[in-house]
């Protein structure tokens, strides 16, 4: 399979390693230095694109792929204000778009368990709930896309909270606070914590390396070609 890598940071390099190990071919690599070279790629020379870039460039990269018949797998975060526009464009072009804020199989099981726990915990008013995420200092967006997905899953199943807020000093009673911290060499740590006067319940996912994310992205890239529409990890993992 001919894979176009859009974004060649730490994740892009890890995805390249996994893709080559699995016998795939790189159609090309697009990074900030050769951004204009994207116009050289289309459905005739590329089977699928894997896009991991910055919030400022991700929407335009995805639009280009959809407009030129390239199925696109994106893991860029921080651009969700454009998501409905991308979905509309995908439908207009009969395209193939796969998005996840996190491609780790373990994280997506974490999302699944988070939603289940929220349905149970909503019955117990004595607990206060919050989310904490920790990442490396090079991560641009805050809170992380994974933390936002976690928050949205909780809010859908926990009526006592109706919105998430970021690093609030004194969140309101109906606000779900996401606490973000940045330290060197932290791949990704996410915790949902329920605290009462007497005890604490925590659900945590701690990523030890980027390999799990890269493997999931390549798995999605293998799965997407030939399908039309908008997909995510729940579709890939049958969750």
Tell whether 214 is in a known binding site. no
Q: Are residues 122 and 172 in the same domain?
A: yes
Per-residue model confidence (pLDDT) at position 168: 94
Tell whether 103 is in a known binding site. yes
Per-residue model confidence (pLDDT) at position 117: 98
| Count of domains observed in the chain | 2
Tell whether 102 is in a known binding site. yes
Q: Are residues 8 and 53 in the same domain?
A: yes
> Which range marks the domain in which residue 151 is found?
105-207
Per-residue model confidence (pLDDT) at position 52: 95
Q: Are residues 215 and 184 in the same domain?
A: no
Per-residue model confidence (pLDDT) at position 139: 83
Q: Are residues 77 and 120 in the same domain?
A: no
How far is it, in rounded angstroms, from Cα 27 to Cα 72?
Answer: 13
How far is it, in rounded angstroms, from Cα 21 to Cα 130?
Answer: 40
CATH code, domain carrying 78: 3.40.50.720
Residue 195: in which H helix or E strand, if any? strand 188-195
How far is it, in rounded angstroms, from Cα 146 to Cα 204?
Answer: 12
Q: Are residues 162 and 199 in the same domain?
A: yes
Cβ burial of 137 (10 Å; 0-12, 13-18, 19+) is exposed
Positions annotated as catalytic residues are: 135, 139
Residues ≥6 apart with Cβ < 8 Å to 38: 6, 30, 61, 64
Tell whether 145 is in a known binding site. yes
Contact by Cβ (8 Å): 121, 158: yes
Residues in the chain with pLDDT values less than 70: none
CATH code, domain carrying 169: 3.30.360.10
Q: Are residues 180 and 231 in the same domain?
A: no
Q: Please give the distance of CA 27 from its chain centroid, rounded to a whole number.
A: 23
Omega into 60 within 30° of 0, i.e. cis?
Answer: no
Q: Are residues 197 and 217 in the same domain?
A: no
> What is the value of pTM for the model shown?
0.78
Per-residue model confidence (pLDDT) at position 239: 78
Q: Are residues 167 and 189 in the same domain?
A: yes
How far is it, in rounded angstroms, from Cα 120 to Cα 37?
Answer: 51
Q: Are residues 231 and 165 in the same domain?
A: no
């Amino acid at each position: 399979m001919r894979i176009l890598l859009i974004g060649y940071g730490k994740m892009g390099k890890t995805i390249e390693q996994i893709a080559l190990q699995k016998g795939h071919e790189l159609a090309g690599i697009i990074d900030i230095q050769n951004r204009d070279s994207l116009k050289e790629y289309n459905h005739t020379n590329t089977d699928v694109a894997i896009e991991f870039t910055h919030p400022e460039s991700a929407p335009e990269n995805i639009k280009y792929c959809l407009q030129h018949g390239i199925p696109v797998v994106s893991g860029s975060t921080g651009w969700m204000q454009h998501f409905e526009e991308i979905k509309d464009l995908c439908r207009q072009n009969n395209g193939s778009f796969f998005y996840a804020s996190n491609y780790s199989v373990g994280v997506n099981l974490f999302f699944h368990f988070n939603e289940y726990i929220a349905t149970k915990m909503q019955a117990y008013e004595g607990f206060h709930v919050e989310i904490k995420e920790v990442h490396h200092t090079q991560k641009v967006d805050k809170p992380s896309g994974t933390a936002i997905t976690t928050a949205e899953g909780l809010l859908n199943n926990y009526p006592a909270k109706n919105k998430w807020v970021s690093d609030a000093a004194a969140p309101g009673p109906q606000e779900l606070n996401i606490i973000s911290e940045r330290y060197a060499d932290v791949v990704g740590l996410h915790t949902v914590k329920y605290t009462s006067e007497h005890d604490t319940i925590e659900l945590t996912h701690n990523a030890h390396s980027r390999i799990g994310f890269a493997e999931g992205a390549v798995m999605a890239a293998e799965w997407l070609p030939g399908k039309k529409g908008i997909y995510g990890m729940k579709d890939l993992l049958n969750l």
